[in-house]
């Protein structure tokens, strides 16, 4: 994906997917995938974690086009954590969803890992000779 515009589109699309899946009644699907073995919570937490790893990474790239800057890291963290909390609050009145602090914390942990991966990737990218980029 070239240019920050493409990364911004990816960030918005991924955030929209998180919102959609965050408000839909997905418990039946999760239960079917976990095959009723009691792995529903683990599968749900893993999904939350992975979704926010990706979200924070894509947001950081979108915010400052691969530059490891305060704007990229703090902005992506604030946006990802805010989205996670907002979705949990939206879920509170929904009869088929649960508002859980644990989910918001898992989302934040995923975002932290995504930003760590971004930091490593941005540093590695900055060290590459200019002629090899592209």
Which pLDDT value is given to residue 26? 73
Which two three-digit tokens encode residue 62?
Answer: 């979108």
pLDDT-based confidence at 25, cuts 50/70/90?
Answer: confident
Give the C-alpha separation, 117 to 54, whole Å. Answer: 10
User: Could you report the per-residue pLDDT of 54-87, keeping only the tens digit for each?
Assistant: 999 999 999 999 999 999 999 999 999 999 999 9
Range with the lowest mean pLDDT among 1-15, 20-34, 38-52? 20-34
Give the C-alpha separation, 106 to 58, whole Å. Answer: 18
CA nearest to 15, candidates 114, 93, 95, 99: 114
User: Could you report the per-residue pLDDT of 108-131, keeping only the tens digit for each?
Assistant: 999 999 999 999 999 999 998 876
Are the C-beta atoms of residues 64 and 71 closer than 8 Å to each other? yes
Share of the chain above pLDDT 90, in %: 72
Q: How is 37-52 classified by DSSP, letter by letter?
A: SS-HHHHHHHHHHHHH
């Amino acid at each position: 994906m070239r240019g920050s515009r493409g990364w911004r589109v990816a960030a918005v699309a991924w955030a929209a997917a998180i919102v959609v899946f965050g408000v839909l009644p997905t418990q039946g699907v999760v239960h079917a995938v976990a095959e009723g073995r009691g792995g529903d919570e683990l599968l749900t937490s893993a999904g939350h974690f992975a979704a926010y790893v990706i979200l924070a990474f894509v947001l950081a790239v979108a915010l400052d086009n691969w530059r490891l800057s305060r704007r990229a890291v703090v902005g992506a963290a604030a946006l990802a954590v805010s989205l996670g909390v907002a979705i949990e609050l939206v879920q509170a009145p929904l009869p088929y969803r649960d508002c859980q602090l644990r989910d918001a914390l898992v989302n934040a942990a995923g975002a932290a890992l995504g930003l760590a991966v971004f930091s490593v990737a941005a540093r590695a990218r900055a060290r590459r000779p200019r002629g090899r980029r592209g």
